[in-house]
Every structure is written in structure tokens, then in C-alpha cells.
Amino acid sequence: MTPDAPEPSPPRQPPRPPPWREIFRGRLGRLTLGLFLLEVLGAVQILIVTTVMPAVLADLGGLNLYGWAFSAAGLATVMAIPLTGTAVDRFGPARPLAIMLCVFAGGTVLAGLAPTMPIFVLGRFVQGAGAGAEYAVSVGAIAKRYPETHRARVLALLAAAWIVPGLVGPFFGAVVAQTIGWRWAFFAPVPLLAIAAAMVFPGLAESAPEERTETPSTGLRWPIQAAVGSGAILIGLGQLEWWSLPVALVGVVLTVPAVRHLIVGSSLAARRSLAWALTAGFLLGFSFFTTDGFVPLMLTHLRHLTYVQASLVITFATVAWTTGSWWQSRAVTTIPLPRLVRWGAVVVALGTAGVATALAGVALVIPFVAWTLAGLGMGVAYPTMYLITMERAAPGVEGATVALLLMIDALGSSAGTGLGGSAVALADHLGASLTAGLAGAFAVAFVAALALIAITPRLRVRGGATQPPPGPGATPSGA
């Protein structure tokens, strides 16, 4: 690690944003609507998958692969973001987006038609690659096609795209799964792709590839190596075979240097305080999404709720996330950012503990309230992490540094859901109950939240950052 750089000069006053109607005018307006629809589609798919996974399990079996339904998509996202960024710089955004929308659609159809759980996981991997690439292209399109005065408005609109899916997505997925079948929950949103593409591509066609310049980046090797290594660790930990330990050890050998390079060794993350911010982002995604992915399974298989009833816990947490972000956007002017992260992490830890009490048969109101509060804490801590990261980034590479945090966040959520799935799979292999497996998953999430609380004093900031989009749509980590 290198010492912190000298204090930069105060940031210039950002330009005044235009009226909202300006971003909806003409061809640029169609591009805005198209990007909005793509974000809605991504949000709906993420929330639907979390809600209907118990129904998928009941139909296809494969409890040992339950966690992989989440981690496969996240690991694919980690690999897709840098690959897509390189493609956008070389060919412009239109061609990569066309390819990756086809990839996303293909993965969605494959998951919806899957006859077995391994095929379903493969579909989720393909879907995650398309979703991560789509998000990377969307952010690149905002940078390349919109004037600086318009960008904050468009980013805020993409965050707002999660409000309606958060309210109706889990309920819609649960109703479909409980009536005509979970497969239709995957197929129903696909027509939005065609509508979004018709609006997006005319605007992207004007974005020609730019002359390439040498700028700091993470490169392609390290994110891919981290994703492959993490996958090997999860495969090894989720099996009780003669080859399990060697595969897990190979995964550790691949993952440790890759993650270390991404967090402390790259030119983007060379400063100590930024490395701590990236570590905190990893732990935050790890702790929240590990529990989030397994709450519906617990409610349906252990507490015998219907899919519709269990879907409400995801709806409440998503709405609470948005509420917490709204409060955070006002609190950042008066409360130190590390304190906000610590408060949010404490609430996520308490929410995880509250959810785990349902394993002991407590009244269901306790896990519902607990996970709603965890969503509130995530809404406070998550956007604050992006503020800290942007504030600690070197001048001129703020965008690349935020993209690095996106990858670290996706890697954390993938590792968390994967380790939670490994706990469930090991319990199944050993003949233990599902309760024991879920207890292991929630324990992993709780320890990660405690680790985050412990490192928050390391999150030093100077002030003067720009507010990021507030909603859960700020990342594809839940893909």
C-alpha cells in the first residue's frame, strides 16, 4: 500500500441539472426511456428469482445447488463488466449491447425451460453475464451520449426504476409461481427487451468508438481469475467427495492474489483508505445478500408460508431500502459517512439475527420486521459506500473506481450466497436438517456484518463527494 495522496483542491461546483423534461425529448428521450426499461427489466428479474427459487427447488430438486442459482449469476457479472467495458471502448456501445441482450434473453429462456437444477444454474450464469454487461453498457452510454448536465438526472431515474418492481415484482413472481408455474415468471418480462431495444439502439448508433487512451484500470485478468477461483472454492466446499478439497485449494490459490490485487494492488486501489472502502463494499454485499437469498426458502419450507406470503418479506425489504436511501441522501450533509456505514451495518447484522430466530419457531412478525429493518440499513449503508469510494478515488478515474467497487460488490454477494448454499448443501450431504443448513448460512452473513462494523473506523473521508443514485438499482450484484 502507498501513503495517501496529498489533499486535492476543492471540487468545482457541479453544473445545474436541466429540467426533467429535457432528458425525455427527441432521440435522447427515447434512449432515456429505453435505459429505464432495461433497468426495470433487470430489477424485475432479480426480485422474481429471489421470490420463486423455493418453487424452482420444489419442482427441480437439487438443494445442494440452491445457492448457485444466485452466485452463478453474480460471478458471471464479475467477468462480464470488464469484458464489456473493453468492448464498448473498442466498438462503441451499440454492438456489445445487441449481443448481450441476446445473451440475457437466451439465459432467461434457458432458465425458464430448465428440466434440471444444473441446467437452471447454467441459465442463471448466462443470464447474469447478459445482465452485468447490460448494466456496464448503460453506464457507458450515459457517459458517452449525455451532456454532463443530464447525467445525474438519468442516474437518478435508473435508481427510481426499482420502485415499482420492488412493490410488485416479488408479488407478481409469487402469484405466477403459485398459479400457472414458476417458469412463466421468467418468460413474462422478456417482451420488454424488444421494446427497450427499439428505444435504445437509435440513440446508441450515434456513439462511435473513441480513440483509445491509456487510463488506469483493473484489466481483464484479475476479475476473471477472482470469479473462477471463487467458483472453485464454492464447488469444493459444497461437496463431500475425494476431489472436493483439492478443488477448493486451487480456488484459494486463484482467488486470494486476484482479490488482493483488486483491493490493494491495482493502480486504482493503491491508497490505503480506498482499499478499506472496497473491503467494506465486499462485506456489505456479502452480509446482506447471503441472508436475502435464503429468507424465502426458510419461510416456505420451514414455516410453511405460501409463495405469495413469503414474497412480502422481499417487497418490504426493497421498499425499506429505497426509504433508507432517501433518508441517507439528506443525512450525508450532517452525519459523517463512516458513521452512516456503521449504523447501516449494525442494522443489517440485527436484521440477520432477527431472521435467524425464525428457525427456532418465533412469531413470524419478528423475521418480517427484522428483514425490513435490514433493508432500511442497507439503504443507508450502500449508497454511502459509493460516496466514500468516489471521494477517495484519484482525480480523473472516479468512474473506473466505482466500476471496481461494482465488481467487488458483485463478488461479495456471489461469495456470500455461494457459501450460504454450501452450508445448506453440506447439511444435506451429512443428513442434517434444512434448519441446520440455514443456520450456517445466516451465521456466515452475521459474521460478515460484524467484520464490516469492525472496519468502519478505517473509512476515512475528506468530504465533497457527489451523491450516487440512491436505490438498489445502483448495482447488478443481486443478479
Give the domains, in start order, of the chain with CATH numbers: 24-209+218-474 (1.20.1250.20)
- Residue 377 to residue 353: CA distance in whole angstroms: 14
Check residue 221 and give its pLDDT: 81
Judged against a pLDDT cut of 60, whether residue 227 lies above it is answered with yes
The answer to whether the beta carbons of residues 162 and 471 sit under 8 Å apart is: yes
Judged against a pLDDT cut of 70, whether residue 309 lies above it is answered with yes
Check residue 151 and give its pLDDT: 67
- Residue 128 to residue 135: CA distance in whole angstroms: 11
Give the tens place of pLDDT for each residue, 8-19. Answer: 444 444 456 666
Which residues contact residue 392 at a Cβ distance below 8 angstroms, ignoring those fewer than 6 apart? Answer: 271, 273, 274, 277, 401, 461
C-alpha cell of residue 466: 457527489
Give the tens place of pLDDT for each residue, 80-101. Answer: 877 777 777 677 777 888 888 8
What's the distance, CA 69 to chain centroid? 14
Give percent of the chain above pLDDT 70. 81
Mean of pLDDT values over 20-35:
76
Q: What is the mean pLDDT of the chain?
A: 81
Give the tens place of pLDDT for each residue, 107-159. Answer: 999 999 999 999 999 999 999 888 887 777 776 677 667 776 676 667 667 76
Check residue 24 and give its pLDDT: 76
Which pLDDT band, with edges at 50, 70 and 90, does 175 fall under?
A: very high
Judged against a pLDDT cut of 80, whether residue 472 lies above it is answered with no
Higher per-residue confidence, 224 vs 358 = 358
Higher per-residue confidence, 364 vs 220 = 364
- Residue 107 to residue 77: CA distance in whole angstroms: 13
Judged against a pLDDT cut of 50, whether residue 289 lies above it is answered with yes
Judged against a pLDDT cut of 60, whether residue 269 lies above it is answered with no
Check residue 311 and give its pLDDT: 92
Burial string for 270-306 (b: 16+ CB within 10 Å, else e) reads: bbbbbbbbbbbbbbbbbbbbbbbbbbbbbbbbeeebe
- Residue 161 to residue 461: CA distance in whole angstroms: 30
Which pLDDT band, with edges at 50, 70 and 90, does 420 fall under?
A: very high
Which pLDDT band, with edges at 50, 70 and 90, does 464 fall under?
A: very low
Task: Name the nearest CA neighbour of 78 among 158, 118, 161, 135.
Answer: 135
